[in-house]
Each structure stands twice: as C-alpha cells, then as structure tokens.
Amino acid sequence: MRSHLRRLPALVRRRLSPSAPVPRPSFLAQREALRRTRALGHELGVRDPVFEVNSKLESRAWADRLGVRQAELLAHVNDVDQVPWSRLPGRFVVKPVHGAGSRGVHLLERAGDGLRDVRRDRPTSVEEVVADLRRSAAEGVVSAEVLVEELVADPQRPGAGPVDWKCSTFFGVVGVVEAKVAGRDGEPRWRLFDADWRDLGRGWRDEQPLAAGLRPPAHAAAVVDLARRVSACVPRPFVRIDLYDGEDGPVFGEITPEPGGPTGFRADVDEHLGRLWEEAEARLMVRGAAAGLLSPADAPLPESALLLERRPVATTTGALAR
C-alpha cells in the first residue's frame, strides 16, 4: 500500500497531463463544487463534521487534544459587558466566539488610562470596543459571546499585530501560504508564498493590495510543519489552517473549511492547487476503501437516492431530457 501511495503524485500528473483530453485541474472549480455538495448535504439534514471544530471554542479544545501551541485564553464571557477589563494584561485580543472576516476582532494594548487599537495604531477605549461588538452582534454577523486571548508577539513585527499565515492544505500537504496583515488604515494587505517560502508575487486573479516587503516568518519551517500536522488530522481534500508566528514558534489560530478572502488564484497557482486537491482525494479514497465504506453491498445502501426521500436523479434526468 505504501509503495502505491509514494507513486501517487507521478500517476496523477501523468494521467492529467496537459496533453490529455480533459480539463486542467482547478482549485477554484473543486472549491465551488464542494460548497454545492455541502449545501445539498444540508438539505439531507447532515452537517459536515469538519465544522465541529470550526468555532473558536471548539477549535481551542481540539488544539489542546492535538497538543499544539495556541494563544493563552484570558477570559470567556457570554457578553462583552462581562469582560474583566481591569484584570487583563498589557496586550490582548477580544474576539466573538462565532464570526468571520475579522468582524468584531479587536487587537488591543494598554496606553495610559486608555487603550490602543494595535491594528490601526490609534487610540481607542473600552466603550468604543463594546459599542462595536454590540452593534455587530445586533446585526447578527457575530455572537454576543466573546473570548479574550493573549496577543501573539510576532518577532517580525514588534509592537504591531501578528501576521496571519493562512495555509491552504490538502490532507497533510501545504500548497500555498497567504500572508494577511493590516495596513495603517486597518485594511488587509496580502502576500503569497509557496510551501518553500518562494514569493509568488501577485498570485490572485483579482487586484489584492500587496504587503510590501513582508518576509517569511521567523520560524518559517515550523509554520509549514505545524500546518501539515494539523491538516493531516482532517480527512478532507482541502482545509485552510490559520497560524501565527510567536517568539517561541508557530501558534495555532483556527481552521477554515470554506475561506473567504481573495476570490481566485492565478491560473498556474489554481492548477497546482487543483492537482494537490486531486491527490488528496485519492488518499482519502485509500482511507475509505480500507474502512470498507466503498465496498459494494448486498442490498441498497441507506444513503442511496433509491432509499432517500428526495428525487435529485429524476429532477436532473428531466432537465437533461428537455
């Protein structure tokens, strides 16, 4: 079995070479197909179990089980009014338990009697932070429940917020690393690296503002190694692993099964990641076959369209017939 797995990348490349009469591998196409598949799963009453470790609390408990370093938890409260502001250290992060796109996340530092917004490098206050979180919770984009964590000190950015290293991973393989960092205006700046930390330049289809001069992390090899290790624990062809680089090495942030951010990669990057996706699918087939999940049965299986109370096959067939 292991010898076949070692030959897998070469087999995939040969069978899906540019000369073959099939479309090229595409990360974007695979990602959009996965989103549609998950939506159909919701119709069937099932939620992808990967989301069991997607919320910030669940991912923290999971990271503890994996034995990986993460930011120290300073407080967990049901409402932002319950944050013990006077007992917090000099630098900390306030974030909703549920949310996306950095909405409601505040990187803070004590400054005299007030606070400094580390991301925007400007003064702020407890009242301003509370008001923003309350407004976002009222709009339904974040939860009222919040966590307070230590603010990771990035050796590459003393005094500023840490770089968010977003690793696109494929069941134990790192494809690319997107570096996200806040500019002085608070808006994100980006940079794209491959798994060997070669700068890929403008690697997206859309015009993402680039983080000028951003270098690989101080613990570059350890960042990739941690992303590979976490990814190898997630039986999915793709998941993004978000990490920080602290003074003592990489720090786990969270996993993101369906990331937002830049909408698509440049064609050559998209094809490279598409190939990695297909190779990961093949390794997952090995796992499914070994568990007996793919073996023909002696009677119709309960998940088949024949036994499920829905009619996708009839609907699709009718559409094709027209």
Q: What is the pLDDT at residue 264?
A: 85
Q: Measure the CA–CA gap between 147 and 178, rounded to whole angstroms.
A: 25
> What region does 213 belong to: left with phi over 0, alpha with psi -120 to 50, or beta?
left
The pLDDT profile of the chain, 322 residues, written as one tens digit per residue, is 556 666 666 666 555 555 556 789 999 999 999 999 999 998 888 999 999 998 889 999 999 999 999 999 999 999 888 999 999 999 999 999 887 767 889 999 999 888 999 988 899 999 999 999 999 988 888 888 999 999 999 999 988 899 999 999 999 999 999 999 987 776 788 999 999 999 998 888 777 788 888 999 999 999 999 999 999 999 999 999 999 999 999 999 999 998 876 568 999 999 999 999 999 999 999 999 999 999 999 999 988 888 876 555 444 444 444 4
Cα–Cα dist 116/154, whole Å: 17
Please tell me the chain's helix, strand, coil percentages from 3-state DSSP, rounded to the nearest 5: 35, 20, 45
SS3 200: coil
Domain ranges of the chain: 2-69+156-289, 72-151
What was the pLDDT predicted at 320? 43
| Domain boundaries 2-69+156-289, CATH class | alpha beta
Strand 122-124 versus strand 239-246 pairing type: unpaired
CA nearest to 166, candidates 261, 29, 39, 279: 261
pLDDT at 12: 60
Q: State how far the Cα of 29 lies from the Cα of 121, in Å rounded to an integer.
A: 39
Contacts of 233 (CB under 8 A, 6+ apart): 66
**Four-residue CA torsion sign, 141, 92, 76, 66:** positive
Span 72-151: which CATH code?
3.30.1490
Contact yes or no for 212/186 (Cβ under 8 A): no
Report residue 250 as tokens: 């990489």
Q: Which residues pair with 318 in a beta bridge?
A: none
Pairing of strands 174-182, 114-117: unpaired
Beta bridge mates, 76: 147
| Contact by Cβ (8 Å): 85, 126 | yes
User: 241: which strand partners?
Assistant: 167, 255
Give the single-character DSSP code of 91: E
Q: Any idea which residue has 């974040």 for tokens?
A: 142
The full DSSP string for 242-309 is EEEEETTEEEEEEEESS--SSS-B-HHHHHHHHHHHHHHHHHHHHHHHHTTTTSPPSS--TTSTTTSS
Residue 77 and residue 94: Cα distance in Å, rounded?
A: 11
State CA 185 to chain mean position distance: 24
CA–CA separation, 264 and 287 (whole Å): 30
